[in-house]
Structure 1
């Protein structure tokens, strides 16, 4: 196999490579010394420089020709006026890399980062990491013995972490730890939720853009926003604090004052200046829950604050600044609110870059059990006493919690309150079947006002079956089919519906195929998932 030619790309060192007269050969000059290694042959040197250093470049080129006449030297001048200006240096090097013809099949590229300003070295590193320079970093250093004529040493650094198993595993573990942190260590099993959290972890680390969390009340929007803040704080992405407000609690003039602050005398009762929550969240994270409840005027002011990091407090003629990151929460369909004129389209577009819909507890029945374990552990830690279910009580509660009777109208808030009540009533730290039975009665009473809504939303079999088919259907099959279709109606996909319907029996199968089981069940009645609703 033909070996590739070695091509070195690097800046001439205005200090390290300099020198005049015969004395220049007594000092270590990194670019020249690189060509003096007997065991290594550089086929071509792409020598970069900026400013008025033509004389130095010419001298270095001559010296390289003297020690390595086989090396071809190609000189390129980059229009960098300030080698310490990060934006300018990166832009020039980026343009150079984009216009350079890389022949990776025949040439191997070494990016020399010993010479040049620190800004130049950082930019060379970043462009190599991003593969704009498709090669390896080259670091050179003088001999420790400081012997005249000794070329020193060189080290090649490959930025492809996939080649370094231990490093790759470490980064993988850290990413898994960040995901677990967002979930508070709860081993959630819902595939849709886990996939969403995986993406939120990546976005939280890399992006400063607003985030929109959608979902019903009690689905965990506030909890997740706080965990995102804590994660970003540990990674030094934020220096400020977490500020939270439910927009549904703000009304009239008080809404603008609460968010943007006011000056003394701005309105009746404004006895002193008030900074407002946006300024309180400077360098931190602002969580606006139920953002759909904000008035149109406040929405316009918020848009300006997000885009320009400045706004006018109520009653003030002078703008103030606040650099905060926004997470918005809502249980409304904001796209529908935009169409109906209740929410600004431009604000919606601004906060909708990263949007996530948190599934309800009914859509995450497989996550009830791990959340119970988490809630019990949390209660035990707070009370200083271990609390557990006995076997019969746990099985009893799980049967109810994952059944159609448990509508979990308040989602995880209902579950948290339920576990707290049972743990409080547990004698000697044991939740018994009697405690569970009493709690189930309590939950049913709590949800009884929603039963009518649940019934009114049930599937009408006459709309999915022909009259003759419906007439020949036994009452048992009709009731069972209605219940199955109700679950399908509340599910995102056939797989999601299958997991809910076969939550108990699927655990006994090595490779459960819930979607296929449900597909075959529906086929018995001549129905298919795509044609249902």
Structure 2
């Protein structure tokens, strides 16, 4: 059994007694908690004010005398007004954040019998919010025998329906958590804010995998790290945050990087390697671009999620790792399942908590607050504060929020843009000329980076491109992209004609696709 730690206030009235043998005939909650044969307290964190130091010492000595195995850890917390909800909650929150809790190694009980009613309510709220990672316990005199020293104990819940003021305070703490996930950015997009509210609830209440979907640059990596930091703040994890971009894991090295290997498992394996999953033990593993993993790696990841066990390369004994998983992707994993490139059982396991991050073009109202955030980040990195003058800021926001602003790289593009303007403003002020130069730079990059025309230019001649209507450009670019991602002409045809093929007597998709490509003088071998 894990050691049991009790946390509670010294009762200035209930825990006091005459300094003599008769005190053992009185029920004293803190002392009585340590007198039960069926409740072994290994450590008692006794909270008290400076003015009650002598009583705290006396109670600690009595606990030691009747329960030598109990270590008493006295902690001083002084309140200017012990009936002030805000002060009591704030100081107890500071205590909870600073205390070295280790839920994997210890169990915790929060004793709410002693202290003021305000203190008891605040202890309840902090326990429900997982800042105190334990269960609530209440003690009372033995029924029918008020002089019995041990009394009785119960694990309990409290009805907070009548405490509206503290419920409001609790709501403020929840809002603080969602702001934490947003890096303190005052985002204005309603859909994004609702999603962050949901993620906050999932982060502190669930250990199941979380899947973050969205385009490149939408902020998946940053949000994953904030989820981890919130979980750590709420004592949900205590290990490290381990991040890997699965697109960089190729071939035989992918299994070794993820699951580790034994010395001599293959040529070049000169030493044992723990692997990323073992490194993430008791922490969080973020697999970015999980859709890029091979089917073998996906199968092993699935077992590691479900059983917390996996087999390192070249090992004959399984390894264990108790990690929490966050996965990220810019692919449509549902479509990948249909194409056979992603396991349906792994997708089903990941799809419990799926959140899709919108791109910058779908959150234009959030450009202004993110502009301020990026300037703050620049100041932190470079130790130099740079600001816009009003005319320059208005001009940049008008351009950035316009319907024709592309923002291919989403928030990553915005961050780079702000960095460039700030760096090229040595006087600490971004002016209109600097903004106009950056706007011109972005426009050039967006024209050069137009994915549709770039894809078509690699296959068609300039003369052919000139004859294509915009409708045909978009359609053909999608067809070419699907062909490049497919292993054969037939597979590409099945993907492109998935809906209509069920309504035809003959389903020769390869021939149908070959004829479509021939209209533009393109063959499968060209791709």
**Does residue 431 of structure 2 align to residue 432 of structure 1?**
yes
**1:141 paired residue number:** 141
Other-structure match for 1:258: 257
The question of whether the paired residues in 2 share the 8 Å contact of 1:28 and 1:142 is answered with no
Find out whether 1:384 has 2:414 as its counterpart.
Answer: no
Deviation, 1:165, is 2.4
1:139 positional shift: 6.0
Q: Which moved more, 1:424-433 or 1:285-294?
A: 424-433
Measured after TM superposition, the shift of residue 339 of structure 1 is 0.8
Matched residue, 1:232? 231
C-alpha contact 1:233 1:239 (8 A) present in aligned 2: yes
CA contact (8 A) 1:213 1:327 kept: yes
Q: Can you give the 5+ residue segments of structure 1 that lack an aligned partner in the other structure?
A: 1-25, 31-49, 51-117, 131-136, 461-533
> Which stretch shows the higher mean deviation, 384-393 or 274-283?
384-393
Tell me how far apart the structure 2 counterparts of residues 415 and 341 of structure 1 sit (CA, whole Å): 35
Give the TM-score, by structure 2 length. Answer: 0.58
Tell me the matched-pair count: 334
Q: In the TM superposition, what whole-angstrom CA distance separates every residue of 1:251-278 from its partner, at most 9, and x where no partner exists?
A: 0000000000011111111111110000
Report the equivalent of 1:329.
328
Q: 1:158 to 1:457 in 2, by over 3 A?
A: farther
Mark the runs of 5 or more structure 2 residues left unpaired by the alignment: 1-23, 29-37, 39-107, 113-123, 129-136, 455-467, 473-527
Measured after TM superposition, the shift of residue 385 of structure 1 is 2.5
Alpha carbons of 1:454 and 1:373: their partners in 2 closer, same or farther (altered >3 Å)?
A: farther
**How far apart in 1 are the matches of 2:180 and 2:363?**
19
Name the CA distance, whole Å, in 2 between partners of 1:186 and 1:162. Answer: 32
Distance 1:459 1:396, change over 3 A: farther
d(CA) in 2 for partners of 1:241 and 1:181? 19
Shift of 1:138: 8.4
SS at match of 1:186: coil
Contact 1:362 1:407 in 2 (8 A): yes
Contact 2:224 2:286 in 1 (8 A): yes
- Kindly state the Cα deviation for residue 140 of structure 1 after the two structures are TM-superposed: 3.6
State the TM-score, normalized to the length of structure 1.
0.58
For residue 370 of structure 1, what is the aligned residue in structure 2? Answer: 369
Aligned to 1:208: 207
Matched, 1:269 2:268: yes
Q: Tell me if structure 1 keeps the 8 A contact 2:27–2:146.
A: no
Correspondence 1:14-25 to 2 at 5 A: none
Tell me which residue corresponds to 1:402: 401
Are residue 351 (structure 1) and residue 314 (structure 2) matched?
Answer: no
> What is the RMSD of the two structures over their aligned residues, measured on CA atoms?
3.6
Distance in 1 between the 2:257 and 2:441 partners?
38
Aligned to 1:161, the other structure's residue is in SS state: coil
* Residues 457 and 139 of structure 1: CA distance in aligned 2, closer, same or farther (over 3 Å): farther
Task: Give the direction of change, closer, same or farther, for the CA distance of 1:148–1:349 in structure 2 (3 Å limit).
Answer: closer
* Counterpart in the other structure of 1:67: none
- 1:384 and 1:293 map into 2 onto residues whose CA distance is 38
Write the distance in 2 (CA, Å) between the matches of 1:389 and 1:289: 35
The answer to whether the 8 Å contact 2:27/2:141 transfers is: no
Q: Any idea what SS the aligned residue of 1:275 has?
A: coil
What is the CA deviation profile of residues 297-355 of structure 1, one whole-angstrom value per residue up to 9, with x for unaligned ones? 00001111110000000011110100000000000000111111100010001111100
| Offset of residue 169 of structure 1 | 2.0
Is 1:185 the equivalent of 2:184?
yes
**Equivalence for 2:459:** none
Give yes or no for the alignment of 1:415 onto 2:409.
Answer: no
Aligned partner of residue 328 in structure 1, secondary structure: strand
Q: Distance in 2 between matches of 1:346 and 1:235?
A: 31
Partners of 1:442 and 1:320 in 2: how far apart? 51
Q: How does 1:58-97 map to 2 (within 5 A)?
A: none
Q: Equivalents in 2 of 1:346, 1:369: separation in Å?
A: 41
Aligned to 1:522: none
Q: Please give the secondary structure, in 2, of the residue aligned with 1:213.
A: strand
The whole-number CA distance in structure 2 between the counterparts of 1:458 and 1:159 is: 65
